[in-house]
Amino acid sequence: MRVVTWNLWWRFGPWEERQPAILTTLENIDADIICLQEVWSEENGVDQAAEIAAKLNMHHVRTPEHWYQGHSFGNAILSKFPIQESSSHQLPPLDGPGRRYALTAKILREEKLIPVVCTHLDHRFDLSSVRQTQVKAVLELVDELRDLNGFPVVLAGDFNSIPTSDEIRLLTGESPPPIPGLVMSDAWPQCQEGPGYTWDRNNPYVINPAWPQRRLDYIFISWPRPKPLGNPTATYLAGDKPINGVIASDHYAVVSDLHWE
């Protein structure tokens, strides 16, 4: 089962030129489940996630629309298989100017439910403490969704954190887990030895950033799980090559193939 996570960079940069490159990249990946961040919609009803889903012949859900100058900013989950349930959960802090969400979905494939969480954590360098609080809230959702005898929870998104950060260590068990007996496997190091930078100075949109060369985007799988169900068999980057001369986003996508049976 192929899963991809990708931050689409909202309507920043040459956003109109980037839309065909986004669609072509996703067509080429041919994922079963797609987790997207920074998707946009317009008050006139045009919705990026809905348009992509329609062109890929996929089901979709998205986070609530909060309007700013006629546009919204959020997360979406697309699936080749029916989405049985979904819900949106605002992450802490709940009273700030920006809103970050975790979007959950239960996807039905061959009479088996696949629980999925798509999220996007706060981006500021100095807000690790906020991201740790957000991670704890996300893990509570994972705990509610997981079935220890079923398919593990797939957690994907833009965590705006490097692998050695305190917030990622809370997820992977390198620090004491907030929920005893629940940790997440990071799909990248299970399959790759390289750094897997998704925020890369080789991307023309990442010009003179304060901190380049970082892996910020992740696909995690909950543990414990029935072996080998959900184990990553291949993980790689996508969106790192131009399509008709256009790079699709300022982030690269992460793709992972997960053991299905």
Strand 2-7 and strand 253-258: the pairing is antiparallel
Give the number of other CB atoms < 10 A from CB of residue 249.
25
**pLDDT by residue (tens digit) across 46-66?**
999 999 999 999 999 999 988
Mean pLDDT, range 12-20, rounded to an integer: 97
Contacts of 15 (CB under 8 A, 6+ apart): 9
Asked whether 12 and 250 are in contact (CB, 8 A), the reply is yes
pTM score, two decimals?
0.97
**Res 190 pLDDT > 70:** yes
Q: Can you say whether the dihedral through the CA atoms of 204, 210, 215, 220 is positive or negative?
A: negative
* Total domains present in the chain: 1
Enclosing domain of residue 41 = 2-258
Task: Determine the 3-state secondary structure of 141 from DSSP.
Answer: helix
Q: Is it the case that residue 67 has pLDDT exceeding 80? A: no
116 near 105, Cβ under 8 Å?
Answer: yes
Distances (CA, A) of 132 to 2, 32, 100, 162, 168: 28, 30, 13, 13, 8
CATH no. for residue 91? 3.60.10.10
Region of 213 on the Ramachandran plot (φ > 0 left; ψ -120 to 50 alpha; else beta): left
pLDDT value at 115 more than 70: yes
- At residue 96, the pLDDT reads 66
Token duo for residue 204: 């023309």
Looking at residue 208, its amino acid is N
